[in-house]
Structure 1
Amino acid sequence: MAEKLNKNKIEEYENFIEKKLKRDLAEIEEILEKKYENYSHWADLKSLIQGLKLQQNEEKEYDIAVDMGCSVFAHGRIEEENVVFVNIGCECYLPMDYNEASKYADIRIKVIEREMEHYRKLAVQVKMNIKLFLLAIEELNTNFNN
């Protein structure tokens, strides 16, 4: 009877690890990957703005090529050098000068860093739970074999 209880408990723990904990870990890692992408976009914007600030006194006009999708580019010229349009969410673009855009990018980067830290901590907790259950399974196996 005790052997059957141990077998059932081991099976229950293994199922919990596979069906719940590993799935939770995969979801957290997927969210983290999206956060890293978002972080990368804001860091790119920040470096672009810094580059534009450096070139601000050198040139008055910029030639650009905007990807319209499917590798189709629209060529254009930017004549106003002090304004950049920043996507603030929901595909809503707000005109900002370089300093405003840089500050806004800094704020978004800090928020994303806090979110990533939160999800990293969650991932560590799930990994600790997996290890805890694996240790419990190992303990049940040693008791079962003795």
Structure 2
Amino acid sequence: MVSPAMSEANINSHGEADSKVLQYERFIDEVLKKDLQKVMEQRDAVYEQISHYLQLKNTLEALQETDSHDLKADVDLGCNFYVQAKVEDSSRIFVLVGFGFFVEMDHAEALSFIDKKTGQLTAFTDQLTKDCAKIRANIRLVLEGLRELQGLVDLPECSRREVF
């Protein structure tokens, strides 16, 4: 026969385990997954910056190949309203160097700057990718801890699927 004290201790430990499971699940949802989302969004924004710089690089290289300083372009005024613009001397351009500052450069200076800037941004995206991997590893670790807390049997590798 089971004593009332033993069954009450079993209920309390089971209740504490459920409470811990809920805390860990909340931690995964409210902290780790949100952190992962922020880092991924930041990485995507940096990739977009790299894309803009590479597009500028391609444009500058095309301008150098044509050896013409006259340039015609469609300029977006906003809300998808475009006007045709004619640039009589495109030998010098303004390049966004960061923090909202533009610097006037010739084509060679701009190409050199773009190479350096894309190198820096690529290194930053590599770090952000490592941060994503660390957060994913932490999520996996907490999920494994939850599995142990709940006494679940580990699924075979082939039937697992990613949950994040």
Whether TM-score is above 0.5 comes out as yes
Q: Which residue of 2 aligns with 1:116?
A: 125
Q: 1:1-146, aligned counterparts within 5 Å?
A: 1-56=12-67, 59-142=68-151
CA distance in 1, matches of 2:93, 2:148: 61
How many residue pairs get aligned? The number is 141
| Structure 1 CA distance for aligned equivalents of residues 85 and 143 of structure 2 | 60
Is contact 2:63-2:69 (8 Å) kept? no
* C-alpha distance in structure 2 between counterparts of 1:90 and 1:21, whole Å: 29
% same residue: 26
Higher Cα radius of gyration: 2
d(CA) in 2 for partners of 1:90 and 1:28?
A: 20
Post-superposition offset of 1:85: 1.9
Superposed CA offset, 1:61-117 (max 9, x none): 222221111222232322224222212235433221111000111111111111111
CA-based RMSD of the aligned residues comes to 1.7
Equivalent position SS for 1:80:
coil
- Deviation larger for 103-112 or 86-95: 86-95
Work out which structure has the larger RCO, using CA pairs closer than 8 Å and 6 or more positions apart in sequence. Answer: 1
* 2:84 counterpart SS class: strand
SS in 1 for 2:75: strand
Task: Tell me: CA distance 1:65–1:125, structure 2 relative to 1, closer, same or farther (3 Å).
Answer: same
Q: Taking structure 1 as the reference length, what is the TM-score of the superposition?
A: 0.87
Taking structure 2 as the reference length, the TM-score comes to 0.79
Q: Gaps (5+ residues) in structure 1?
A: none
What is the DSSP-based 3-state SS (H/G/I as helix, E as strand, rest coil) of the residue aligned with 2:29? helix
Residue in 1 that maps onto 2:159: none
